[in-house]
Structure formats: C-alpha cells, structure tokens
Structure 1
Amino acid sequence: MQFSGDDMVNAVQGVVMQQGEQTQLLGVTIDSRKTRAGDLFFAIQGAQFDGHDFCREAVDRGAFAVVVSRSVEIPQKVSVINVKDTLTALGDLASWWRRRFSLSLVAITGSNGKTTTKEMVAALFEHTERVLKNEGNVNNLVGVPLTLLQLEEHHTAAVVEMAMNRSGELKRLAEIAAPTIGVITNIAPAHLEGLGDIEHVAQAKGELFEALSSDATAIVNSDDPFAQKLIKRTKANIIRYGSSPECDIQLLNIEEKEREGIEVTLRIDQKKIHFHLPLLGKHNAWNAAAAMAVAYVMKMDLSEAAAILETMKSFRMRLQPLHLKNGSLLLNDTYNANPSSTKAALEVLKNCSHHTTSIAVLGDMLELGKQSASLHEEIGNEVARLRIDHLFLVGDFASSVAKGAQKHGMTSEQINVFTTRDELIRALREQMSGQDCILVKGSRGMKMEEIVAALQQQEGKP
C-alpha cells in the first residue's frame, strides 16, 4: 500500500504537530518491533502496554510518521500527528482505505464457527477471485482495520471475521468495513462477563445486520432462535440457511462418519447437493451451509463450491485430529471454549470413541461472568450424559464440572481434578493405555495447548 501524508491526516482527522521529511507512507503498524522503513506507526493504548512508550523504537526502525494522542519526543525528520484517540484513528484510516476498493466484502460473526466459516468462504472465493482474509485471531477493533489496510488493487473480494466482547464493537467494525454480505453463524453464551446474558449477546451480534445497507445481504442461521430474531433489525436482503423447508439453503441430511468427517446434503433452489466434509462434528454442517449461502449470493457454481468444501483441511487447535504413535487419537480443540462449543466437542469425542476409551481433558471456560459456576456444572452434566469414560479437569471451575458429572452418574474414580497442568499431564500419561480418544479443550487463557504439546513430546514429536 502507499498513500500520502495529507490523505492520512484528513482520514484520521488529525492535527500535524510536527512535519517530517517524507510525504508518502508505505505501510501501517502498531508494533514497534515489526516496523519497517516507510511505515506509519499508531501508538495504541492497551490494557498491558502503551504504544506511546515505543514511538522512539518505531522511528529508529524506520517509521516515517507516528499517530499519537499525547506528547512524545520524536526526531524532527519524522511527522507527528495528534488525534483524540489512536484506536479510533486507526479505524478511520482503514475505513477510508477500504472505500477506495469496489469489491465484495463478507463479514462473519457468531459465538461459534466464525473462523471455520471464514476459511470455507475464503476457499470458495480463491477459486475465482483474489481474496483478502484476516489471519488467525486478528478479528477485533485492531485486527480488522489492520487487515483492511492490506487491501491492494489486485484484490477482488475480502472475507473478514469479526469478534466482540462489548456492545458497540460490531457496530464500529461494520462501520469500518462496509460489508456487502453479513453472516451471523449462531448466538450462544459467550463473553457474558462483558454482556451479562445471552439476550445481550444477541443484541450485540445483531449490530452487524443493523449496519448492512439495503443493497447488501444478511445471511442467517434459521435454526438458531436468537439469530433468527435479528433479521427484524436489518434492511438488507435476507438469505436463510438451516433445517427448515422455508430456508433458501436447507440442510436435508447430516451423517457422521466417526473419524472421517461428515456427509452433508443440502437443497438449494430445488436442487440437491451432496458432499463429504472432512471436518469432525455435525456442527460443521451449519458452517458449510453458511459458506454455500455466500456462494449462492455470489452466483458461484454450487457444484464446484461443494467440491471445494470437500478439500477443506482441519484447522489448527479447532478439533484438530492428531494421531499419536501409540494408536490414540488426540483432538486438539484448545483455541477457545464456551458452553456450546464445548458440548459440540464432547459430542465429537463420543462419536470418535465407539470402540476405544474416551477421555475428556477440560480447562475453564472464561468470561462467563456470574453464570460461570452453573455453566461449568452443565458441562459436567453433558460429560456424564454422553458416558465419557474419564474426565480430567484443571482450573478454578474444575470442581463445578466435577459436581455436575457426579450428579449425573460419573464415579469419583472417573473424575480427576488437578491444580496445575503439569499434575494433570503426569496423571493423564499414566491413564493412557493406547487406542484412547482424548479431547483437550479450554479457553485460550487456560493454555491447554501445553497439554497437547506434552502428549506429543511423549510420542517423540517436537
């Protein structure tokens, strides 16, 4: 990318406090360690850091200009632009840059499945388009603007995952991105610490649909009662997917193939489309239906779209199947966790362990607020209902999960509670007998991936 300093100042509504030598900017960064020559550095203030403290480092690494909200000492050769709020200014610059491109932009949000759906939609676009997508978890008020600022003339489409944990955040993200298609995958108890209850989660997610213009399209999961209600809040065209015959994309049949993925049959415009999706869990059928809804809106060849979905690979740390040398199957689902995603993962564990020992290794689900204890107890109920053989727990709410499991029939011999991951790993290694099916899941802050790494190291893997 390349833009003039004057255009940038106008876009962020800034005041030039110091005029530097360079008038053309070549990139945007918020990380002084990754600054390159010609970059514009935004001094973002976070909970753990203040970018203003790193302006000098960014300049030393080649930044031509810095955007700040307080006074900093910078060499005269570098421009200093003052704004009221640097995070808002970053979004304003991204909004200005995005509107230079006339392209289809798909925005995807939801409590679960947004990353998988994003990857599916991007794969469909990549067949015929030059597509930009956000990588990893850069899906918030910092990540989405930085993604949009990577748009170039050769791009013909963009797929942007959007996340939030407070009301107003999706409204702002949609304001910045100006989506032509908006997808809400589902509404579930998540981020309750900041939003209170599922009704407020739904209201916050609905900000995406509210922001869509009348010539845009809203794609909604009609099997989710909270998501279904959100269509009343949009003036966009509406496409529904789900199991009802009234849906534009109807899920006719889903068949699990144990460890081989799922068989999916859809009806679109009275035509049946059948494909094998090599991802674990019935819930991924809804993600695939959402992706096919985007294909439908974009007038893609639907048979070709289904064939592309058949080539999808499992995503790292999202029900990622790892085969251990002793014959055990390890399901790495450590990217994040909330009640609905954990229940879906437990269903996969049960389905994958018909002839083996099933072991659930669970850490806390974070950001659930006042409902944390009761929602963790529900997970214990589910473990017992599915007749999982062994339960290994770590975290502040491990006792709540154990309580729910015991209430519904699991014995104390089946339930193991630990205060540290290291203790859990040692006990789990002793429990493993080979041919086990092991699910490891917890919120990102629980660092459950360390358990996965330890089990792989035991196998002689790096």
Structure 2
Amino acid sequence: MLNLKKVAEISQGECLGSCSGQVKYLLTDSRKLTLPEQVLFFAIPGKYHNGHAYIPALIKKGVSQFVVSELPEKQWLEKADFVKVHDVISALQSVAAWWRSYFSLPVIGVTGSNGKTIVKEWIAQSLGDTVRMTRTPGSYNSQIGVPLSVWMLSDGAQFGLFEAGISFPGEMEKLQTIIKPTIGLFTNLGDAHQENFSSFTQKLEEKLKLFKNADVVIYRNEGDWVSEKIEAYCTERKKFTWSFKEEADVEAQLDDGVLKVQYANQKLSLSIPFSDKASVENLMHTITLLCYLGYDSDFIYRAVAKIRAVPMRLEQKSGRAHNTIINDSYNSDLGSLSNALDFLEQQKQHPRKVLVLSDIFQSGYAKENLYKEVSVLVNAHKPDLMLGVGKDLMPYRELFHLESHFFKSTTELIAALGDFDLTDTTILLKGSRAFHFEEVDKILEEKTHRTVLEVNLNALTHNLNYFKSLLKPDADIIVMVKAFSYGSGSHEIANILQYHRVAYLAVAFADEGVDLRARGIDLPIMVMNPHISDFDSLVRYRLEPVVFDYGMLSSLGKYLVQQGERRFSVHLKLNTGMNRSGFNPSDIDNLIDELKKQPAMYVQTAFSHLASSDEPMHDKFTHDQARVYNTMCKKLELAFDRNIKKHLLNSAGIERFREYQFDYVRLGIGLYGISVADADLKQVGRLRTSIAQIRDVMPGETVGYGRSGEVENPKKIATIPIGYADGFRRILSNGRGKVFISGNLYPVIGNVCMDMTMIDITGANVEVGDEVVIFGPELPIEEVAGWLETIPYEVLTSVAARVKRIYVKD
C-alpha cells in the first residue's frame, strides 16, 4: 500500500509531518468524503473553487493527509500531514501513473471527439462477466477523472478500459503516462473543443498521442485524410481497421437494419435495433475490438444481443408514495456506485434513504474483495434500508451493517416490495443491466401523462459556475428559487444549490421557505414577500423576511419582541427607481429612526432592484439607481456604525455591471441558461412529449375547435398530449407555434386544446411514440418566447405543475 512519504517522492514534493500514514482512497472533492481513514485529499485550486479552502473542515472530519500547493495556517498544519508540491493536479497524475506501473495487463484506451463513453460502455456490456474489468466510471475522462479511474485498478483485474478526453494541446501526453494503453481505439474526429486547437490536424495529432506505446490502434478506415494520418502514425505499431467501403481487417455492410460483418473466415449477419450513423459506428468499433481480441462469431452474436442504449445519466423523479426515485441503473461498478451514493446522500427532501443494489459484474475485483469494498462504501453512506438483488451479493450479506434484505432475482424483489414501507423515502436504484431495474422503476414512479420537463442538473451547475466566475473574490451568490424555481422544481433545485454552497436562497412567499425546510434545506432563506400571517412560520423555520414598508416593520418588530427574539435577521428593500416596493430615498432618515426602535431586529442586508439592467439604452438610469442606492446604504451604515451587506445586481446585472457587485448578487433566470452577453450557457429545461396519434386529413376537412385549421391539400396530422393546461399557450395556434421532431420544426395546425395539440407533419417520416420537443437545446426557449411575444421567464414559469419533472445528471 502507498504511504505519504512515497507520495512525496513520486510527486517530487516536500513532506511536512510524520507522513507515515497509509493511502487507500484518493479524494479531490471535499463534499464526497465518506471514509476519512486512509484518505489522501488533493487540494486542487480551480476556476470556481479552491480545494485549499476546505482543508480545515476536512481535518475536523478526520482527514489527516493532504497534497497542497499552499500550506494552511499553523493551527491546521500541526493537526495533519502535508505534501507540498508545485502543481497539485500533476501530483495526482504522478501518483496514478505510479500505480498503473504495477499492473501488467491488457489496457484499452479509447479516445476521439464523439462516442467515447458509449463505445466504452458497449465494450463492457459485450464482455460482461467473462473478464474482470476495471473501467472509467461514467465519463471520467479528464485530467482529474482519468487518474481517479486508473487508481481503481486492483490485483484481481484482468483488463483495463479507460477513456481519455482533451480540451487543449498538451493534455493527452499526461493522460498517456497514466493509462499506458496496450490497445488503442480511436472513435472519430469532430468539432468538439475545436476552438482550442489551431486546426483539425493539430487536434488529431494530439489525440493520437494516447497511443504512443500501444501495441495496436483500432480505427475506421474511410480512405480520407484522417485515416491516412492514423495509418502514417501506425508505422511503428500494428493497425486494425474496419470500413464500409475501403479495404479493412473487418468489412461491414448495412442493409435494411441488418449489419453484415466479415472478418478473416468469419461472416456475421446481425439485426440491430438502431440505424442512426453514430450508433452503427459505435457498434462497429465494439465489434472490431472483439474481432481483434479473437472472439468467435458465436460470442459476438451473444455480445451484440447484450448491448443496450446507454442513457448516460442518472434520473431523479417523483414516486407514487410521496417519495423520490433516483434511477442510475445503466451500469454498475465501484466508481459509479460511489458517485450514486454521494448523490443519494445529498438528498434532504425525505427523512429516510433506501438503496436497491444488484450484483456488480464489471469491477476488476475478485468477488470476495469486490463485495468487501461495496460494503465499505455502503456502510459509510449509511442508508436506512438496503435491498440487495443477486446470487453473488447474497453470500456477503453479513458485511452490511444496516437493515438489509436480499433477493435472488429482480422478480423476487418486485414480489416483496409491498412488504416494505417506502413512503417518504429517497430510493436509489443501482443495478447492472441484466437485472432490469427499469421494471422496479415503473412500479415505484408516479404515474403521469407523457409530457415531461427534463431538468439537467449538469447544465444548471455549468451555469452557476459561469456566474461565479464573474464575481470578485469577496462577493457571493443569492439564488432565486421563487415560482417553483422558475418552473423547474423548488426543493430539487435548492438541494443541488445547497450542495454547491451558495450563500442564500430567496423565495417569494413564506410557505415556499417552509417547504424547503421540510425537505432538509438548511441554507439561509430570504422571503421576498412576507405577510403578517407568516410571522409564526418565519420565526419557527428561521426564514429571513424582506421588510419593505413601515407597516411590516412595526408589526414584525412587535411580534419579535413578544416572542423573545433578540437578533432576528431581516432584509431591507430600498426603492431606487423600480417603483414596485421598498423604502424611498426620502424615507431613509425616518426609516433609521424606526429601525432604532426595533431591538429584536438585525438588518442583515439592504438591497434594491434594477429596472433595466438588460437594456443598454437604459444604462444611464441603471447607474443613477446605483448612485441612489449607495447614498441610502451609506446613511444606514453611518447611523448603525457598522457595515450592512448589500446586493443590487440581478442575472443581467451580474454580466453587465460588475462594478456594482457589492457583497452579494442575486442569480435568477441566468441559472436556467439565459444570458444577455451571449455567454456559453446551457439550457437547463427541456419540455418534451411524444406523438400520440397520426391521421390523414383530406382537402375540405378541418382540424380542431372552431374549425380554424382548414386543409386545402392532403395532410398528415399528429396529435401530441400537451395543451394550454400544461403551459402550451393557445396563442401558439394556427401555425404561430412550432415543435421540434426528428431534426425539423413542424407547425401547429388548428387551435391548441386544453390537453392536446395538433401538428402538421406532412412529408415527415415520423411514427407514433416519436419524441416531440417543445423547448430545449434543440429549440431555444428564447425562440418560443418570441412566438409568444413574451420573455423566457414567463415560458418557464408557465409549465404546469401537473407536468412531470425529471432531474437528470451525467
């Protein structure tokens, strides 16, 4: 086992302390700590967070070993051991490269612009339990993810399978020294991250560096410049190719859903469940690798039959028993189990947590060692109940020190589900593909109609980090989660914001704050529109009200005194030109007098709203507002002889008026992907439904209420289960609105109904059940807002509560 002195030697660092401790686990994210013993934390300084800031908290939790580039204060230096290095990420990579050097086994390294993760997962599905394999969990293919993946190699592993992704020149050389693939697989060359490379040629050359010492490189021979470049690279190593049209080791032909493959003296004819080019290409990469490894046609037939679409993301949704379902059953290995358990632990909306776990087939560990490691992970996260499924898992039931029940099969589990009270729980489904946990998911999930609002938590995190990157070091973020978090779901969004350590949440009404408290949210919560009837809830749930007029000031002050409060936080709303609510500049002297009469109140912040921060034509007015606001705040601070924290900027203001950041900024619509600066934000919400019915309509007939959808030529009409009761407004009738189906926009025909809408799909090759996107990355919400003559805020908040929300996370 590795010790800290050896880490110092490997990373060419300086050891401070005894440095005699053993290292078993590597940690780069302080929020994912589960086992403080034998953990080595790498304090990585990043664009949005600096790992060094979390050292004191980790020491308090029992972590005693750190790799740092800057030493902490003396009081912490004396309580732990440190290795000081020049570059923490380089140190992490050096440790992983050292670990890799101890293993002599076949290692497959996958790179390319697209398809890396799917090809990796399909290879793992194909090989199944025939080999013990350690592979990259999820898409851990970065400068940090790769070393963490390779660290998972164990003595029982027979194969390694790792993917490598790069964004800049020079990165692949570092990953090559860690992965050291013996077999290289190149998927394709595309546009991803092209902005960081001088040419496609440079990007290709950088990616090929992964295969520097590989025995063979597997790739598609298209007879183009990419193929020629790879062939030239392979002068000192073997190449193994496949192609649809060129001479290759493995030659293929696609004919009406049947994939015909010829290799050496073997011929295969495979019926495949997809026809899109990307999936076929990914499948051929997988088959070609199996051919290179020497598997016969019978094995390949069975392997292809195992392959299933890879959703590539965790899904969170409401269950039927007032519970939450987290479905993460597209793969199961130690790395993805650890990530899923971390996500389960973040959930605070229910008092109990349940883990449903199957046998793990693709781990790289012998069974006894594997389930020892599994039990360590599960016991550390302490779910309230574990339901284990599978014959491999059952003999190790005694290792799990919690309430647990075990079943030989998913069928047995389903038959016994009624024996367990799963009400008000968060349930994690973590199973290998062979266990078909989607059947469990169907039983547990809340039944709703086919219209769904997908909320992408990765996109939300990306947007949050973008706005954080605009802030000066001493400014923090208040996030608006009012109006059901702009239609996206309050407690689910609040939960991930709490995980990412924002300073405050802000809701419109007190009952929204009460609900967040009931769901386990303990961040400070500001209530923008309190009412006198809310006072009891404000005090009981420690919600911080905004005071915007004298009536509220007086009534709340009296109530707080009656309750014996001595320092209850409130927030002052100042009117600087919005003229919606708040104290006017002329009120400031009287306001100070009244505040001094309130012994139970503590003014936490004073803030104002900008009226037109998104419109350059009103910039002079915005500067005038800021000037008035500054003047009012200075008077308050002078009167109370202390600094009062301030916030003025909304989402648009954060991007356009950085000079007015003060202590906090308020992030709202920007979190969901709306930027006035054309920043690279991700659209968080994706409203989708599906085609319920298709019919032919003849000339002279009409479509919908009022017969407004007149048909002059033969048309094909699709009915979709969404209407104005779901937020698809009636103004989108008669061609004004459009939807996105299979790469194209199709217009609404006739009037939008309450629960259904008709779409003109004449000439389209679509079928019942095909996905229909109302808004999302394919159809930007700004464009939909334009058809409605409104703003994206209204589109988001108009999605009805009856529309099911699903939260997805890569």
Q: TM-score, normalised by structure 2?
A: 0.41
Aligned to 1:28: 26
Q: Is the 8 A contact 1:335 1:442 kept in 2?
A: no
Aligned to 1:357: none
- 192-201 vs 39-48, which moves further: 192-201
Q: 2:307 aligns with which of 312, 318, 326?
A: 312
Q: Identity percentage over the alignment?
A: 22
Q: 1:134 aligns with which of 124, 133, 136?
A: 136
**Structure 1, residues 378-398: CA drift from partner, whole Å, max 9, x if none?**
xxxxxxxxxx999xxxxxxxx
Aligned to 1:438: 771
Question: Does 2:523 correspond to 1:190?
Answer: no
Q: Which amino acid aligns with 1:28?
A: L
Q: Counterparts in 2 of 1:239-254, with a 5 A limit? A: 239-254=240-255
Q: Which amino acid aligns with 1:437?
A: D
Distance 1:412 1:75, change over 3 A: same
Q: Measure how far apart 1:458 and its partner are.
A: 2.4
Aligned to 1:7: 6
- 6-15 vs 173-182, which moves further: 6-15
Task: Determine which structure has greater relative contact order: mean sequence separation of CA pairs < 8 Å that are 6+ residues apart, divided by chain length.
Answer: 1
Q: What CA distance in whole angstroms lies between the structure 2 residues aligned with 1:99 and 1:331? A: 43
Q: Counterparts in 2 of 1:130-169, with a 5 A limit? A: 130-169=132-171
**Structure 1, residues 157-215: CA drift from partner, whole Å, max 9, x if none?**
11111111111212221121100111111111121222254333323322223x234xx
Q: 2:292 aligns with which of 291, 297, 301?
A: 297
Q: What CA distance in whole angstroms lies between the structure 2 residues aligned with 1:11 and 1:305? A: 42
Q: Which amino acid aligns with 1:17?
A: L
Aligned to 2:263: 268
Aligned to 2:202: 200
**Structure 1, residues 212-260: CA drift from partner, whole Å, max 9, x if none?**
34xx11011112735312231232210011213511111122534xxxx
Q: Is the 8 A contact 2:717 2:758 kept in 1?
A: no
Q: Which amino acid aligns with 2:213?
A: L
Distance 1:271 1:332, change over 3 A: farther
Instruction: Provide the secondary structure at the position in 1 that maps to 2:108.
Output: strand
Q: Counterparts in 2 of 1:221-232, with a 5 A limit? A: 221-223=220-222, 225-228=224-227, 229-232=229-232
Q: Counterparts in 2 of 1:327-366, with a 5 A limit? A: none
Q: Counterparts in 2 of 1:97-136, with a 5 A limit? A: 97-136=99-138
Q: Measure how far apart 1:103 and its partner are.
A: 1.1
User: Which structure has the greater CA radius of gyration?
Assistant: 2
Q: Measure how far apart 1:442 and its partner are.
A: 3.9
Aligned to 1:358: none
Aligned to 1:288: 283
Distance 1:43 1:304, change over 3 A: same
Distance 1:224 1:71, change over 3 A: farther
Distance 1:39 1:232, change over 3 A: same
Q: Is the 8 A contact 2:451 2:804 kept in 1?
A: no
Q: Measure how far apart 1:269 and its partner are.
A: 0.8
Q: Which amino acid aligns with 1:156?
A: Q
Q: Is the 8 A contact 1:25 1:38 kept in 2?
A: yes
Instruction: Provide the secondary structure at the position in 2 that maps to 1:102.
Output: coil
- The alignment covers a number of residue pairs equal to 370
Q: Is the 8 A contact 1:317 1:334 kept in 2?
A: no
Aligned to 1:59: 59
CA RMSD of aligned residues (A): 4.2
Q: What CA distance in whole angstroms lies between the structure 2 residues aligned with 1:305 and 1:239? A: 17
Q: What CA distance in whole angstroms lies between the structure 2 residues aligned with 1:31 and 1:333? A: 21
Aligned to 2:38: 38
**Structure 1, residues 381-438: CA drift from partner, whole Å, max 9, x if none?**
xxxxxxx999xxxxxxxxxxxxxxxxxxxx986478xxxxxxxxx9998657794622
Q: What CA distance in whole angstroms lies between the structure 2 residues aligned with 1:317 and 1:432? A: 32
Q: Measure how far apart 1:331 and its partner are.
A: 12
**Structure 1, residues 65-97: CA drift from partner, whole Å, max 9, x if none?**
100111223343421001110001111100000
Instruction: Provide the secondary structure at the position in 1 that maps to 2:306.
Output: coil
Q: Measure how far apart 1:329 and its partner are.
A: 11
Q: Is the 8 A contact 1:330 1:439 kept in 2?
A: no
Q: TM-score, normalised by structure 1?
A: 0.69
Distance 1:250 1:180, change over 3 A: same
Q: Which amino acid aligns with 2:185?
A: V
Aligned to 1:381: none
Q: What CA distance in whole angstroms lies between the structure 2 residues aligned with 1:66 and 1:137? A: 26
Instruction: Provide the secondary structure at the position in 1 that maps to 2:62.
Output: coil
Question: Gaps (5+ residues) in structure 1?
Answer: 257-262, 337-362, 370-387, 391-410, 417-425
Q: What CA distance in whole angstroms lies between the structure 2 residues aligned with 1:83 and 1:172? A: 17
Distance 1:427 1:185, change over 3 A: farther
